[in-house]
Amino acid sequence: MTPPPATAATRIGVDVGGTFTDVVLVVDGDRHTAKVPTTADQSVGVLDGIQKTCDAAGIDPAAIDTFAHAMTVSVNALLERDGATTALVTTAGFGDVLEIARQDRPDLYDLNATKPDPLVPRSRRFEIDERATTAGIEQLVAPDDIRDLADEIAATDAESVAVCLLHAYAHPENEQRVAEVLREELDVPVSASHEVLPEFREFERTGTTAADAYVTPAIRGYLTRLTERATDAGVPEPRVMQANGGIAEGDTVSERAVSTVLSGPAAGVVGAAATAAEPDATTAPSVVTFDMGGTSSDVSLVRDGQAKRTTEAEIDGVPIRTPMVDVTTVGAGGGSIAWVDSGGALRVGPESAGAEPGPACYGRGGDRPTVTDANVVLGYIGDDTALGGELTLDVEAANAVLDDLADEADLADAAAAARGVVRVANATMTRAIRAATVERGHDPREFDLVAFGGAGPMHAAALAADLGMDRVVVPAPAGVLSAYGLLAADETHDAVRTVTQPLVDSDPDDLDAVYDELIESVLTDISEPEAVTIERAADCRYDGQSFELTVAVDDFSPESVAEAFDAAHERAYGYTLSAPVELVNLRVTATIEGSPPAISHDGGGDAVVGGREAVFPTPDGDTGARVSATVYDRSKLAAEATIDGPAILEQAESTTVVPPGWRGRIRSDGALVMRRGDTEGGQ
């Protein structure tokens, strides 16, 4: 599918990962990329990466016209539990919603299973007398009670406040009063559920609102520091990737901080969708995306050019109910640490060596074996490989830590341990792909695998073979594809409201009025209202079901929505019911279409840089033997060049492995297309 025409503006995208910060700069159609270590204050590494790419392009940072950004500030705060000291205000009698949750167990048969602590401890949960039902307000909140509550909250030194009152999604008047007074009385951010998530389900609404309050100070502080540093360098203020796969202004996401959770993985999926298809394709691609970075691996599904979205996610026990790209994440990345459990089994992750000290082969003091160290020992990465274009590797250090692991795991040698580490990591990532495909009714063999990230192209062929997939696409900017995705992203804003009612009883005029209000709310955040496209949708379910499916709505009528829901249910579950359909939520999405930078590829010159002994598995699955693999400089491979495995393609930000029995072809846009079992002819 042909993308919209790219602008000639000088644009930069920066994606912060757990180990590296990736940068893509496009100047007059030329692409410049960089990887720099992620810093404790992520804004420092971001500006380092901007300066590095500007130096490579020979321009001043002040020449940049637009700056798009994805970061891990919010998800790190949730995972590491180092967000703001947060207070929660709820209706009297509902102070324990966060702990009661859904009353399920993390592990049904583990008598000692424990849940993560809630974001807000009991000592900072406050209850207030008020009551609303779905029919209206039954008890107004007293102004004096709110002011007294403000004094109590102030005494806890809370840095942020979440307000979630019963049924405020339907009748927010009491919650509006509480939030208004607290904002007047307290000099801290206040997140109100009717603004963050006006949907039913008390636990999810309370949890999402608490998460928004928990990460808001960190997001606002980070964006303030980043904007100041960018301004000092003459760079425009950043526009930020949201979890829904759309870009928004920094001020907008500061007001909805929870929308930035998983912004980096979302950018990668957008980049994969923009680069997956052949340049002259007339149809949109359907692919599985596989992003393996330093800390984790992310898997998602793109069907007909559209990333699959969800409104339900959980991060370390915290419900996040906001529109987001549907990403399955596992703790297996290049920096994931390999270890032996108490039963003697080899394990990989989820603990990561990070950027500092990093894997042992980085030579920065790391002394524990990682997946990257294993790839060095197996020969996929050589001592002459410069990760990120400049980081040379210590092969001896990698062999030393894998030797130690071999002794601990009772394996023959470092190579056997390395092969074991890679097989365990691959198994973890294969399960993630199955979770995103097979477990949701999709056959992975019907999709291409788009591999990216610093380590994704190294493992992609092995994963595809395990899943019966025959074709792998590795985009030209594979090592920094999430940063490229920032430049390809649309501007997107979402709004939702619960309107639970039998579909057959729905009044189209009343629902159109709700849609009009939702449209008005999203347009307030749109940068160019004249260019916006509005999409309407509805969440529906059969009477008696607990969860919903989202269907597109053009002109609302009960008959058309019921028909669309039946079709969606058939696709998702393989059957329909004769039960009545219930309308649950109305949704609106406002979009301004982005313009992906054009990717051209010249190549040329002698692409072969040498050979390397590398270990490849044999068909019977043992550790295999070292064979000679041709090493290529990927940037010099001309369009339509073919590469037979075993081969290793190196570029500044990533390495691609073409195993025996696979053949690769370079597309006109520089993407590598690998096919399994196609070593007799062209693609």
State whether 572 and 634 are in the same domain.
no
| Domain assignment present for 481 | no
- In 3D space, the residue among 462, 204, 464, 426 whose CA is nearest the CA of residue 336 turns out to be 426
- In 3D space, the residue among 450, 448, 519, 447 whose CA is nearest the CA of residue 485 turns out to be 450
| Domain assignment present for 408 | yes
Are 352 and 337 a contacting pair, CB within 8 Å?
Answer: yes
Q: Please identify, among 592, 621, 636, the residue that sits at the C-terminal boundary of a domain.
A: 592
State whether 582 and 612 are in the same domain.
no
- In 3D space, the residue among 129, 155, 157 whose CA is nearest the CA of residue 143 turns out to be 129
**DSSP helix/strand/coil, 541:** strand
Q: Please identify, among 186, 216, 246, the residue that sits at the C-terminal boundary of a domain.
A: 216
Region of poorest pLDDT, from 41-50, 186-195, 275-284: 275-284
Q: What integer pLDDT is reported at residue 329 of this predicted model?
A: 84
**pLDDT tier for residue 680 given thresholds of 50, 70 and 90:** very low
For the chain, percent helix, then strand, then coil, each to nearest 5? 35, 30, 40
Taken in order 198, 200, 204, 206, the sign of the CA dihedral is: positive
| Domain assignment present for 547 | yes
Report the first-to-last Cα separation within the chain, whole angstroms.
19
Task: Tell me how far apart the alpha carbons of residues 648 and 627 are, in angstroms, rounded to a whole number.
Answer: 12
Percent of the chain past pLDDT 90, that is, above it, reads 65
Q: What integer pLDDT is reported at residue 504 of this predicted model?
A: 93
Amino acid at 26: V
State whether 672 and 616 are in the same domain.
yes
Beta bridge partners of 139: 131
State whether 402 and 439 are in the same domain.
yes
Buried/exposed code over 266-298 (b: 16+ C-beta within 10 A; e: otherwise) = bbbbbbbbbbbbbbeeeeebbbbbbbbbbbbbb
**pLDDT tier for residue 682 given thresholds of 50, 70 and 90:** very low
Q: What integer pLDDT is reported at residue 619 of this predicted model?
A: 57
State whether 419 and 290 are in the same domain.
yes
| Domain assignment present for 455 | yes
Q: What integer pLDDT is reported at residue 386 of this predicted model?
A: 56
- In 3D space, the residue among 68, 407, 110, 408 whose CA is nearest the CA of residue 249 turns out to be 68
Q: Please identify, among 169, 190, 216, the residue that sits at the C-terminal boundary of a domain.
A: 216
Q: What's the mean pLDDT when you consider all of the chain?
A: 89
| Domain assignment present for 449 | yes
Q: What integer pLDDT is reported at residue 678 of this predicted model?
A: 63
Which of the 8 DSSP states describes residue 357?
T
Are 612 and 631 a contacting pair, CB within 8 Å?
Answer: yes
H or E stretch including 645?
none
Are 264 and 511 a contacting pair, CB within 8 Å?
Answer: no
Buried/exposed code over 528-562 (b: 16+ C-beta within 10 A; e: otherwise) = eeeebeeebbbbbbbeeeeebbbbebeebebeebb
Q: What integer pLDDT is reported at residue 683 of this predicted model?
A: 37
| Domain assignment present for 303 | no
State whether 345 and 405 are in the same domain.
yes
Beta strands 327-330 and 297-303 are antiparallel
Count CB atoms within 10 A of the CB of residue 432: 22
Secondary structure, 3-state, 301-327:
EEECCEECEECCEEECCEEECCCEECE
Region of poorest pLDDT, from 213-222, 655-664, 672-681: 672-681
Q: Which residues, 6 or more positions from 671, have their beta carbon under 8 angstroms from its beta carbon?
A: 275, 473, 474, 475, 476
**pLDDT tier for residue 669 given thresholds of 50, 70 and 90:** confident
Q: What integer pLDDT is reported at residue 31 of this predicted model?
A: 86
**Average pLDDT, stretch 274-288?**
86
State whether 350 and 432 are in the same domain.
yes
**Average pLDDT, stretch 457-476?**
94
Q: What integer pLDDT is reported at residue 17 of this predicted model?
A: 82
State whether 156 and 289 are in the same domain.
no
State whether 153 and 191 are in the same domain.
yes
| Domain assignment present for 410 | yes
Task: Tell me how far apart the alpha carbons of residues 198 and 173 are, in angstroms, rounded to a whole number.
Answer: 13
Q: What integer pLDDT is reported at residue 511 of this predicted model?
A: 94
**DSSP helix/strand/coil, 669:** coil
**Average pLDDT, stretch 5-17?**
78
Q: Model-level pTM?
A: 0.87
**Average pLDDT, stretch 55-80?**
91
The answer, yes or no, to whether residue 582 has pLDDT greater than 90, is yes
Q: Give the count of domains, the chain.
A: 3
State whether 583 and 626 are in the same domain.
no
The answer, yes or no, to whether residue 533 has pLDDT greater than 60, is yes
Which of the 8 DSSP states describes residue 446?
G
What is the domain extent for residue 120? 81-216
Task: Tell me how far apart the alpha carbons of residues 512 and 532 are, in angstroms, rounded to a whole number.
Answer: 19
Task: Tell me how far apart the alpha carbons of residues 669 and 499 are, in angstroms, rounded to a whole number.
Answer: 47
Q: Which residues, 6 or more positions from 288, have their beta carbon under 8 angstroms from its beta carbon?
A: 299, 300, 301, 302, 433, 436, 437, 444, 447, 448, 449, 450, 469
Beta bridge partners of 290: 299, 451
**Average pLDDT, stretch 588-599?**
86
Q: What is the CATH number of the domain that holds 208?
A: 3.40.50
Q: For residue range 416-425, list pLDDT tens digits in order.
A: 999 999 999 9
| Domain assignment present for 123 | yes
Task: Tell me how far apart the alpha carbons of residues 649 and 647 are, in angstroms, rounded to a whole number.
Answer: 7
**pLDDT tier for residue 681 given thresholds of 50, 70 and 90:** very low
Q: What integer pLDDT is reported at residue 602 of this predicted model?
A: 76
Q: For residue range 89-124, list pLDDT tens digits in order.
A: 999 999 999 988 887 777 778 878 778 889 999 999
Are 587 and 539 a contacting pair, CB within 8 Å?
Answer: yes
How many residues are there in the chain? 683
User: For residue 662, which phi and psi values (nearest 5 degrees)?
Assistant: -120, 150
Compute, in degrees rounded to 10, the torsion defined by CA atoms 376, 377, 383, 387: 10
Q: What integer pLDDT is reported at residue 454 of this predicted model?
A: 84
Which of the 8 DSSP states describes residue 61?
G
Task: Tell me how far apart the alpha carbons of residues 50 and 16 are, in angstroms, rounded to a whole number.
Answer: 12
State whether 527 and 457 are in the same domain.
no
H or E stretch including 22?
strand 20-27
The answer, yes or no, to whether residue 188 has pLDDT greater than 50, is yes
Find the helix packing angle between 173-185 and 143-154, rounded to 10°: 50
State whether 459 and 376 are in the same domain.
yes
**pLDDT tier for residue 679 given thresholds of 50, 70 and 90:** low
Q: For residue range 197-233, list pLDDT tens digits in order.
A: 999 999 999 999 999 999 999 999 999 999 999 999 9
Q: What integer pLDDT is reported at residue 448 of this predicted model?
A: 93
Q: For residue range 390-444, list pLDDT tens digits in order.
A: 567 889 999 999 999 999 999 989 999 999 999 999 999 999 999 888 888 889 9
The answer, yes or no, to whether residue 136 has pLDDT greater than 60, is yes
Q: What is the CATH number of the domain that holds 541?
A: 3.30.1490
Q: What integer pLDDT is reported at residue 2 of this predicted model?
A: 44
**Average pLDDT, stretch 539-549?**
93
Which of the 8 DSSP states describes residue 109?
T
Q: What integer pLDDT is reported at residue 8 of this predicted model?
A: 55
